Amino acid sequence: MRIAIVEDDRIDMSQLRRTLEAFGAEHGMQFEFNTFSSGEAFLAAFSAGKYEMIFFDNYIGETLGITLARHVRETDTEAALVFVTMSPDFAVESFDIGALHYIMKPVTREGIAKVFDRWKAGRNTPGPMVELMLNRVPVHIPADSILYIESADKICIIHCQTQELKIHLPLDKLAEQLPTDRFLRPHRSYAISMDYIKRMNDHCFLLKNDKTVPVSRLAWAEAKSKYMEYLLKK
């Protein structure tokens, strides 16, 4: 498997490469690496189909990783794009170009394992997407990156894996875009991913961040039934 790493910090680049090599050795995977310390060097070497996976830092000198990724997507829709960074900046934009994953520094074996879990599952081809208007610009984020949504004062707060997004949109309208086999509405102010539920308690759900989401009396029977059905299918 041919992998490109675009990173201007030599220590971070070395750590990422060592972690990938250790993961590959553990799982019987052979990697061929091309490493680049500048965006210009990467663009000079890049051609469509050359790499199966490309790791970008968010900031490579004065060049943005998201800018390089957009250049890749102009001619290559198959390469798996992964952002490795200390900041969730550009997370929404990375989803919009079909990035495979977005992991935080310092890179860990667990983080790399998640990258390859997604890659093996073919998730570099985006699944259901949710369209949002942020600063009057339409962006698309994968539905499976959303953990839960809460609504207050006509504002929806979308809790994603790497950041929170706030939009002026009724939750009822936003929920129309969510896959019904993975999300439920236990309360008029919440929509939650069943993947993110830690356990079901008496008339509430405990999420994996230990937040308690209430279940309204009218929604309890349906929410409980839907969650039990989801668990049986896992």
Query: 48-65: per-residue pLDDT in tens?
Result: 889 999 999 988 888 888
CB 143 within 8 A of CB 177: yes
pLDDT one-digit tens code per residue, 97-106: 778 888 888 9
* Antiparallel, parallel or unpaired: β 204-207 and 212-214: antiparallel
Domain 129-233, architecture per CATH: Beta Barrel (2.40)
Cβ contacts of residue 40 below 8 Å, gap of 6+? 63
User: Could you tell me the two tokens for 195?
Assistant: 């993947």
pTM of the model as a whole: 0.55
What are the structural domain ranges in the chain?
2-120, 129-233
d(C-alpha 100, C-alpha 217), whole Å = 39
Confidence of residue 34 (pLDDT cuts 50, 70, 90): very high
Would you give the distance in Å from CA 172 to the centre of its chain?
23
The pLDDT of residue 58 is: 87
DSSP structure class, residue 57: -
* CA dist 12 → 4, 22, 29, 170 (Å): 14, 15, 22, 42
CATH superfamily, with its number, for domain 2-120: Response regulator (3.40.50.2300)
Average pLDDT, rounded, for the chain: 88
Place of tokens 């990938």: 20
